[in-house]
Amino acid sequence: MSVLQEIGSNVRNMKQLENSVLARRTTQIKEELRQGVRKSYKEVIDVSWGDPHKAGVKPLSFVRQVLAACLYPQLMDGDKLLVDVRQRAQRLLKACTGGSVGSYSATAGIPEIVQRVSEFIMRRDGGVPSHPENIYICPGSQWALTNILTVLVNPEASPRTGVLTPVPCHSTTVLSLTALGAVVVPYYLREESGWALEVEELHRALDSAKGVCNPLALYVINPGNPAGYVQSRKSVQEVIRFAAEKRLFLLADEVYQECVYGEKTEFVSYKRALAEMGPPLSDRVELASFHTASKSLMGECGLRCGYVELVNLDPTVMKHINSLFSTNACAPVLGQIALDVMMNPPQPGDPSYHLYVKETQHIRTSVAENVKRVDEVINSLPGFSCQLVEGGAFAFPRLFLPPKATKRAEEAGMQPDTFYCLRLLEEAGVLLSPGTDYGQKEGTYHIRFCIMTSLDIMEELLRRLSIFHKRFMKEFS
């Protein structure tokens, strides 16, 4: 018997994701295919994560060349690499302690790269000042969010600390909140209005927390995940006003800021909107904004690097955040280098500029085409309805399942959308995630899949999904 007589309720309450059942079955299916078992497909298309390289998107050459040169500086001898690649690598290596990417960096990141991040933010926000000492580079934005939450969520507080959280919501945030002992206070995005974030709903959610917990923070995801909305400037301002009025700390997950597809859609950062609103709000509302090298056109998820910028935080709180970040030494240095390129890509006139633009443009147009195709194909299928994806990496269509299907799922002890996804995986070799992992209005079902794929993978995915879906709907009609 374990020495652990009792596991803390916070950890115990962490939900097991349905996706893990699907991931396990995927591993088995891949092994079956390897052993020559005959199926209607030769390989599994996995679009369950926001992982562009997994889904056929190619890495950007400039990023990879700079990284390779930093790792193995002998590559810079001769002229195989363009001069701007060599110069960038030399500059970055000089900024690394001991001139090696194998050394730890400062806790908040390599100072020169932190400086670049802050310059990027200022350009993005039309000149709103950004201070390097408020920026922490970290191994992934989710990791940073957990650290900030560790300071925000007081495990001894009674009533417990509440965090207003969207439904649907990126699943790991909810897991982290639960593990820390916070109360998740759900607010629902309005699907029929393109997953709009409405302030009346925030009021309702806050009221619902009365007597249950002490709401201290409001978590927003813009552009959305899994719901692909992009907030307008007006919407961002409304949320800031609400946070100010209710004295809530704003946690802005803005990792998909580079991924905006609508023609008239524009990403406006919470930091910019807040600054533009002027005092007293701009001096008062506490804000943490998250970004990452994973969730951008470069899509370097495997390098594990992001950053958080903190605005209007009390120096005492900053001190504690610094201590927490120190416990993991620093972010992966190669991830930091990718971040440097992302913040400061080749400029007109640089030898690598042309290829860089060509490659990023190719990704942009492919994803825009995917968005269009998803809209056309999914909305033409019976029992499906999909809001137009304005930003982010995912489509999150609603699935209207026949009662016979939900009944069969129930008999199998499964959520209806998990049942659908498992059948899709089994019969069509497509792995995507059930809406139940992200939260959804009771009685509604969804699926989530990544749209940052190559064109051919998206076509094959839609082809397999269409055939399967029609057969499934017929079977249970």
Name the minimum Å distance from CB 36 to its own copies: 19
Name the minimum Å distance from CB 59 to its own copies: 5
Instruction: Indicate the pairing of strand 214-221 with strand 398-399.
Output: unpaired
Name the minimum Å distance from CB 3 to its own copies: 5
Name the minimum Å distance from CB 187 to its own copies: 18
Nearest to 295 by CA among 153, 392, 226: 392
Name the minimum Å distance from CB 349 to its own copies: 24
Residue placing its CB nearer to its own copies in the complex, 90 or 385: 90
Residue placing its CB nearer to its own copies in the complex, 141 or 406: 141
Residue placing its CB nearer to its own copies in the complex, 292 or 440: 292
Residue placing its CB nearer to its own copies in the complex, 160 or 190: 160
Residue placing its CB nearer to its own copies in the complex, 210 or 247: 247
Name the minimum Å distance from CB 381 to its own copies: 27
Residue placing its CB nearer to its own copies in the complex, 136 or 384: 136
Name the minimum Å distance from CB 275 to its own copies: 19
Residue placing its CB nearer to its own copies in the complex, 277 or 313: 313
Residue placing its CB nearer to its own copies in the complex, 55 or 273: 55
Separation between Cα atoms, residue 412 and residue 180, nearest integer Å: 32
Name the minimum Å distance from CB 174 to its own copies: 10
Q: Decide if 209 contacts 226 (C-beta within 8 A).
A: no
Name the minimum Å distance from CB 133 to its own copies: 12
Burial readout 374-404 (b: 16 or more C-beta within 10 A, e: otherwise): bbebbeebebbebbbbbbbbbbbbbbebbee
Name the minimum Å distance from CB 400 to its own copies: 30
Residue placing its CB nearer to its own copies in the complex, 65 or 387: 65
Residue placing its CB nearer to its own copies in the complex, 16 or 35: 16
